[in-house]
Structure 1
Amino acid sequence: MHALLVKTSSLGDVVHNLPVVTDIQRHYPGAVIDWVVEEAFADIPRLHPGVHRVIPVALRRWRKRLFTAATWREMAAFRRGLRHDAYDVVLDTQGLIKSALIARQAQLAAHGRRLGFDAATAREPLAARFYDAGFMIAKNAHAIGRNRRLAAAAFDYTLNTPLDYGIAAPPLATSWLPARPYAVLLTGTSRADKLWPESYWVALAKALNVSVILPAGSAAERERAQRLAAQMPGARAVPPLGIAELAGLMAGAQIVIGLDTGLTHLAAALNKPTLAIFSGSAPELTGAHAGDMLANAAINLGRNGAPPTVAEVIATARGLLR
C-alpha cells in the first residue's frame, strides 16, 4: 500500500498527526507513507522513521508572491512531485479547502481513493466535495483522536493500539548549552491571549533551580526572551533555531514548560516531561499529550480565560522534575 497524508500546518497540528503514521504501519506493516507539509514544518514528519517521502509545499510563501514567475515554477515543480507516485489512499486530515485541493491533485493508483472528513465535521465543509468519501468524526474530541479515528475509518482498521508519536531526536550538541541539567521555557506565542505574565515566568525560573534556556522565533518573541533572561539567574535566550535543532534542544532538557504552542506539543511528542500553560484556548481539544504509555509525562494547567497561577505551575513543575 502506498499512502499520502496531507497535513500542511500549523506546527502543533502537524505534531498531532504523527500518531497516524504509527497507526497505519501497525496495521499495514508494509505501507509506504508520504506526507505533504508546509516547508517550514517539513522537519516534523522527517523525525518519524515511518515517513518515506516528505513533500514540502509553500502555500504561505506563494500567496505573498503569487504573480512572480519563480512562484509559478515552484508550483509546477510541486505538482510534478505530487504526481510522481500513484497512491492507493490519499488522506486529508486537515479538512480545509486548501488541503483538499492538494489531495485532489495527487495521482491515484487503480482503485485509489481520496478521503477526508465529511462536510459535517470538516473544518471547512466545502473541502468534503473534493474527496471520494468523507467520514463523520466528532468535533468535540482532542485533535489527536480525531486524526487517528479518521485514519482508522479511511484505512478500515479498528483503533485499538496505544497512542504513539513514533519519533525521537538526538540531544542538541552545541557549545552554548550548559553542562548541568536545563529546563526549556517556551514563552512566545502568536496570540496575545495565550501569553502568561512575564513576572510569573521570572518567579518560575528562580524556583526551578536548574539552568533555563529560552528559545524564540519572531523578533517580538526574541525581545521578550532577552528581557526575561536578564531577570533570571543563569538563563540564556538563544538565537533562532530550526525545527530539527529545537527538537534536539528539547530532547536534552530535563523539563519543558511552555504555552499552548506547537513546540510545547513537540516536547510532549518527544516524551519529555512537559507542562503546558493554557490561557486563551481549551486543553480538552488541543492539550499536550505525551502518549498513552506515559500518561503523567505531559500536564496541562489552566483553561480559556483562566490561566494557572505561578504557584500552581511551580508546584506541578517540581513534581515533574521529581
Structure 2
Amino acid sequence: MKDYSNILIIKMSSLGDVIHALPTLYALRQNLPHAKITWAIHEQFASLLPGTPWVDEVIIIDKKQLKSPSYLWNLRKDLHSRHFDMTLDLQCIAKSAIVSLLSGAPERYGYWELREGSKFVNKALVGAHKYDHVIERYLDTVRVLGGDVEGVEFPMPHDHAAEGVIRKRLADLGVTDDYVVVVPGARWIVKEWPLLNFGELCIRLCESGKKVIIAGAPDDNEKGLFIENYVKNDNLINLVGKTTMAELIELIRHCHIYISADTGPLHIANALKKPLIALFGTTSPHRTGPYGGSHVHIIISPTSKATPEQPLVDDPDCMAQIPVDAVWDVYSEMLRKDL
C-alpha cells in the first residue's frame, strides 16, 4: 500500500453506516500506523468515532450549509490548509463528493457504488466483494489500494464519563449488568416490529425476573411511553430519548442481551460483540445486517422479499409476520447456552 501520510475519510451519516465504516478505519490504521487520519462527519454522529490512535482529528460538516456558497468557500479553505494526500469517500453521494472535491487531495477514492454524480469526483475502487455485505464493500477499498485486511474489527469509542453516568443511573434504579436492552424504533416505519409485539415480549421478559431497558432516540419517545404503559411492570425502565449517543453506547456495552429490528443501535451492539437478536424482513441482513460472530441471532420474517440487490422493500405487513414466540424461543435458547 502506498505510504499515505494525511488521509481524509468521508462518512457523515447515518448511525449504522458510520459503524459499518469503522472496520475500514481499523484496516487503514493497521496498514498506515504513522499516517494522520481525519474523519469528516455530521455533528450528531461524531461521538461514534474513536479517538487516537484511530482517528487523529474530526471535521464537523454542517449538512444544512452545504448549499451555501460562503460555507463551501470557507470549508474549501479549511480543507486545503490541511494538505490531504488522499480522500476516501465511503458515502459516495453528492454531499460527500462535494467534501471530497473541496479537500484538494490529489487522489480521491470511493467504494464501487458511486451515486448521485460522485463518480465525477471520486475514482471507484472495485474489489472481489462488490455484491457482499457493505462492510466488505468498504474494506475492498483498502484491499484494492494494496493494503492487508485481517478480519473485521470495530474500533469503538469508550467514553468513561458517559460510562460513569450510565452506571450510576442503573445503580440508582437497582439494575446490575444482567439486563436486556430493547430498542423499539427504526429509521423507517416499514423496518419496525409492531409495538404490541414489543410490549408482549417485554411483559414476558419482565415476568421472568429480567430487568428490561427500552432505549432509543427522542423521536421514539411516544413508542417508549406506549410500551411503558402497556407493560406496567417495575422491571421495565424507559430510557427512550434519555441518553446521549455516548451514554447509549455504554448502556449497550454493559447489557446482557440486546433486541431490536434493523436500526442504528443494533449496529452498536454488533460492534461491541454483545449477544443480540435482530429482527429483519423489509431489509436484507446479508447486505447491512449485524456481521459475523456467534453473538448474532437473526430472525427473518417468513414473508421477507428483501435481497442484497433490493435491500429495502416497502411491505408494511412484513415485520408483523415475526411472532413473539419466535423471538422468545431464540432468547430462551441463548439463556440456556449462557448457563
What TM bracket, shorter-length normalisation?
0.7 to 0.9
Question: Distance in 1 between the 2:84 and 2:334 partners?
Answer: 44
Which residue identity does 1:237 align to in structure 2? Answer: N
Q: What is the match of residue 189 of structure 1?
A: 186
Tell me the SS of whatever aligns to 2:85. Answer: strand
Q: Which moved more, 1:256-265 or 1:227-236?
A: 227-236
Unaligned runs of 5+ in 1: none
Question: Distance in 2 between the 1:264 and 1:274 partners?
Answer: 8
Question: Distance in 2 between the 1:12 and 1:157 partners?
Answer: 24
Which residue identity does 2:42 align to in structure 1? Answer: E
Superposition deviation, residue 74 in structure 1: 5.5
Superposition deviation, residue 16 in structure 1: 0.2
- TM-score (normalizing by structure 1): 0.85
Task: Indicate whether 1:313 and 2:327 are aligned.
Answer: yes
Q: What is the match of residue 175 of structure 2?
A: 179
Task: Indicate whether 1:142 and 2:143 are aligned.
Answer: no
Conserved 8 A contact 2:125-2:141:
yes
Task: Indicate whether 1:100 and 2:101 are aligned.
Answer: no
Tell me the SS of whatever aligns to 1:83. Answer: helix
- From the superposition, tell whether residues 49 and 243 of structure 1 become closer, same or farther in structure 2 (CA, over 3 Å): farther
Conserved 8 A contact 1:15-1:269:
yes
2:11 to 7, 13, 27: 7
Which residue identity does 1:100 align to in structure 2? Answer: A
Q: What is the match of residue 273 of structure 1?
A: 275
Which residue identity does 1:213 align to in structure 2? Answer: I
For residues 74-93 of structure 1, the aligned pairs below 5 Å read 77-93=74-90
Q: What is the match of residue 62 of structure 1?
A: 65
Among the aligned pairs, what percent are the same residue? 25
- From the superposition, tell whether residues 74 and 282 of structure 1 become closer, same or farther in structure 2 (CA, over 3 Å): same
Superposition deviation, residue 276 in structure 1: 1.3
Question: Distance in 2 between the 1:242 and 1:73 partners?
Answer: 32
For residues 1-322 of structure 1, the aligned pairs below 5 Å read 1-46=5-50, 49-59=53-63, 61-62=64-65, 77-108=74-105, 112-118=106-112, 121-124=113-116, 126-131=117-122, 133-137=123-127, 139-153=130-144, 155-159=145-149, 161-169=150-158, 170=160, 171=163, 172-176=166-170, 177-180=173-176, 181-208=178-205, 209=208, 210-219=210-219, 221-232=220-231, 233=233, 234-238=235-239, 239-289=241-291, 291=292, 295-303=293-301, 304=304, 306-307=318-319, 308-321=322-335, 322=338
Question: Distance in 1 between the 2:223 and 2:187 partners?
Answer: 13
Question: Distance in 2 between the 1:77 and 1:298 partners?
Answer: 44
Which residue identity does 2:326 align to in structure 1? Answer: E
Conserved 8 A contact 1:196-1:279:
no
CA RMSD of aligned residues (A): 2.3
Q: How many residues end up aligned between the 2 structures?
A: 301
Superposition deviation, residue 229 in structure 1: 1.7
Superposition deviation, residue 178 in structure 1: 3.7
- From the superposition, tell whether residues 47 and 184 of structure 1 become closer, same or farther in structure 2 (CA, over 3 Å): farther
Question: Distance in 2 between the 1:213 and 1:205 partners?
Answer: 9
Tell me the SS of whatever aligns to 1:212. Answer: strand
Question: Distance in 1 between the 2:187 and 2:25 partners?
Answer: 28
Conserved 8 A contact 1:47-1:167:
no
Question: Distance in 1 between the 2:125 and 2:152 partners?
Answer: 21
Superposition deviation, residue 22 in structure 1: 0.8
Deviations 1:102-136 (A, max 9, x none): 1111133xxx4111135xx3233x211112x3222
Conserved 8 A contact 1:49-1:167:
no
- TM-score (normalizing by structure 2): 0.81
Unaligned runs of 5+ in 2: 305-314
Superposition deviation, residue 214 in structure 1: 1.2
Conserved 8 A contact 2:142-2:148:
no
Question: Distance in 1 between the 2:229 and 2:70 partners?
Answer: 46
Would you tell me which structure has more strand in proportion to its own residues? 1
- From the superposition, tell whether residues 49 and 262 of structure 1 become closer, same or farther in structure 2 (CA, over 3 Å): farther
Conserved 8 A contact 2:126-2:140:
no
Tell me the SS of whatever aligns to 1:276. Answer: strand
Deviations 1:8-57 (A, max 9, x none): 11111001000011111112222221111111101111367401111111
Tell me the SS of whatever aligns to 1:179. Answer: coil
Question: Distance in 1 between the 2:72 and 2:254 partners?
Answer: 38
Q: Which moved more, 1:11-20 or 1:222-231?
A: 222-231
